[in-house]
Amino acid sequence: MTSYDLSASTFSPDGRVFQVEYAMKAVENSSTAIGIRCKDGVVFGVEKLVLSKLYEQGSNKRIFNVDRHVGMAVAGLLADARSLSEVAREEASNFRSNYGHNIPLKYLSERVAMYVHAYTLYSAVRPFGCSFIFGSYDQDDGPQLYMVDPSGISFGYWGCAIGKAKQAAKTEIEKLQMKDMTCRELVKEVAKIIYIVHDEVKDKAFELELSWVGEVTNGKHELVPKDIRVEAEKYAKEKTEDGSSTL
Amino acid sequence: MERHLMDSKIKGVSTGTTILAVTFNGGVIIGSDSRASIGGYYVSSKTINKLIQVHDRIFCCIAGSLADAQAVTKAAKFQISFHSIQMESPPLVKAAASVLKELCYNNKEELQAGFITAGWDRKKGPQVYTVALGGMLLSQPFTIGGSGSTYIYGYADAKYKPDMSKEECLQFATNALALAMGRDNVSGGVAHLVVITEEGVEHVVIPGDKLPKFHDE
């Protein structure tokens, strides 16, 4: 058992690549990030644990802009995630330079997944220890949501969660009728889910990072404006203080 | 007596030419003459095809050095085909035009070819793009190019209407080509026209003697 997990270029007798599985464990140790696709856009929510009171508010972002119309929320080893966000940005930029239009999200997600997968093939490198959720909005294709994990696969979703409380978050997400909701309604629900899955005992303070892209932002991915975020957090706090938390 | 022609600096076979592309209601018509000449004195081909299909609903017409144009369109056709397979959907006309533009711009020192790209895609419908000599990309409702185009700017500007029917557009394109071929000595032969719509692609070939005549007696 011990000798099969030393490098990504070795299979175990039962057909697993342990290094990739260990990389996924790194994601599970990170705090939760969720992305939900609704009728007219995509909303991201990240539970950003505040490890020190000395941190500047809003620092250590977990949500990135990949292109004007694409956002990316991450969980796992942040350094890995940041370098991959640069890879995604270059892909999007090269596509636009060659073909003259916005990169379709499915294609971007597949290209980044292919890159991540390459690092699972060799013993000389280690797999990336992060997952990400990509979201975009386009006039013709509508809202799109894709998730890439350390093994290098990408799937399209209506709602997905990554990080330590992903199971609990998934349960909450499944309760929503997201296909009929608008971004404005969804922002409040996303905030509520993050508040629900946050573990008060084990992790103390956290900052809620919210972003969206959709008709409401004219197809531009951006952080949710302060007043809407404050309102969403207020709603989330009310709902969780009710004792309606399902953890 | 030296005759100065638009592309007299081009060595070898050139397509002193007339090319055009015009959008109409529901599609686009792309057209050209069929003459290739050397130095403006010798017609090396009377029936050359200057309308290259780069994808199911996207065509290119070429002007300038024939060798350069063929090399570029061959590379572009491959790139667009690969791109379309990766995207799992037909390419946008804009993407095809961008690919041509990148090739022209990045190799501008060596190349002497200009293109008109026209086609239909699901997102924006019928479109026409000009890729000029140095690699400029421009979208227009209709455009004319090649050495013969100088003689028909007035006609095209006066007679073009947006949202024409297919028949009106065919008449407009045929007339424009006939007028240019009638005055430009390096344009001639037959008129090639391709009608591109959502449903498909239709080739129309009009031999020189069947073209509309304008005071030719």
Q: Which of A100, A107, A140 sits opposite B98 (nearest CB)?
A: A100
pLDDT at B49 over 90: no
Lowest-confidence range among A19-28, B11-20, B122-131?
Answer: B11-20
Three-class SS of chain B: CCCCCCCCCCCCEEECCCEEEEEECCEEEEEECCCEEECCCEEEECCCCCEEEEECCEEEEEEEEHHHHHHHHHHHHHHHHHHHHHHCCCCCHHHHHHHHHHHHHHCCCCCCEEEEEEEEECCCEEEEEEECCCCCEEEECEEEECHHHHHHHHHHHHHCCCCCCHHHHHHHHHHHHHHHHHHCCCCCCCEEEEEEECCCEEEEEECHHHCCCCCCC
pLDDT at B2 over 80: no
**Sheet of A142-148: strands edge to edge?**
A63-67, A70-76, A130-138, A142-148, A154-156
Q: Where are the domains of chain A?
A: 18-51+60-240
Q: What is the pLDDT of residue A209?
A: 95
Inside any domain, residue B84: yes
Contacts of A95 in chain B (CB under 8 A): none
Inside any domain, residue B49: no
Q: What is the pLDDT of residue A59?
A: 87
Inside any domain, residue B89: yes
pLDDT at B152 over 60: yes
Considering only CA atoms, which of B6, B12, B7 is closest in space to residue B67? B12
Contacts of A98 in chain B (CB under 8 A): 98-99, 102
Q: What is the pLDDT of residue B38?
A: 84
Contacts of B92 in chain A (CB under 8 A): 99-101
Higher pLDDT, B67 or A36: A36
Hey, are the CB atoms on A107 and B98 less than 8 Å from each other?
Answer: no
Given 3.40.640.10, 3.40.50.1820, 3.60.20.10, 3.30.420.40, which CATH number is that of A18-51+60-240? 3.60.20.10
Inside any domain, residue B215: no
Q: Which of B87, B102, B123 sits opposite A98 (nearest CB)?
A: B102
Contacts of A113 in chain B (CB under 8 A): none
Q: What is the pLDDT of residue A136?
A: 97
What ipTM did this prediction achieve? 0.82
Inside any domain, residue B5: no
Q: What is the pLDDT of residue A90?
A: 97
Residue B84 belongs to domain with CATH number: 3.60.20.10
Instruction: List A210's β-bridge partners, or say none.
Output: A45
- Closest residue of chain B to A101, computed from CA coordinates: B95
- Tell me the catalytic residues of B: 17
Q: Supply the range of the domain harboring residue B183.
A: 19-35+54-150+164-207
pLDDT at B15 over 80: no
**Interface-testing mutation among A95, A96, A98, A99, with chain B (most B C-beta atoms within 10 A):** A99
pLDDT at B40 over 60: yes
Contacts of A140 in chain B (CB under 8 A): 123
Inside any domain, residue B80: yes
Q: What is the pLDDT of residue B12?
A: 56
Hey, are the CB atoms on B101 and A100 less than 8 Å from each other?
Answer: yes
Residues of B with CB under 8 A from a CB of A: 83, 86-87, 91-92, 94-95, 97-99, 101-102, 123, 137
CB atoms within 10 A of CB B113: 25
Total tally of structural domains belonging to chain B: 1
pLDDT at B42 over 90: no
Inside any domain, residue B155: no
Hey, are the CB atoms on A100 and B95 less than 8 Å from each other?
Answer: yes
Separation between Cα atoms, residue B112 and residue B13, nearest integer Å: 12
Across the range B20-44, mean pLDDT stands at 91
Task: Give the gap in angstroms from C-alpha B177 to the nearest C-alpha of chain A.
Answer: 30
Q: What is the pLDDT of residue A240?
A: 86
pLDDT-derived band of residue B45, with 50, 70 and 90 as boundaries? confident
Token reading at A63: 């949500």
Lowest-confidence range among A124-128, B19-23, B132-136?
Answer: B132-136
Inside any domain, residue B146: yes
**Interface-testing mutation among B98, B101, B121, B139, with chain A (most A C-beta atoms within 10 A):** B98
Q: What is the pLDDT of residue A52?
A: 87
Q: What is the pLDDT along chain A (247 residues), one digit of tens a residue?
A: 568 889 999 999 999 999 999 999 999 999 999 999 999 999 999 999 988 889 898 888 999 999 999 999 999 999 999 999 999 999 999 999 999 999 999 999 999 999 999 999 999 999 999 999 999 999 888 999 999 999 999 999 999 999 999 999 999 999 999 999 999 999 999 999 999 999 888 888 899 999 999 999 999 999 999 999 999 999 999 988 865 444 4
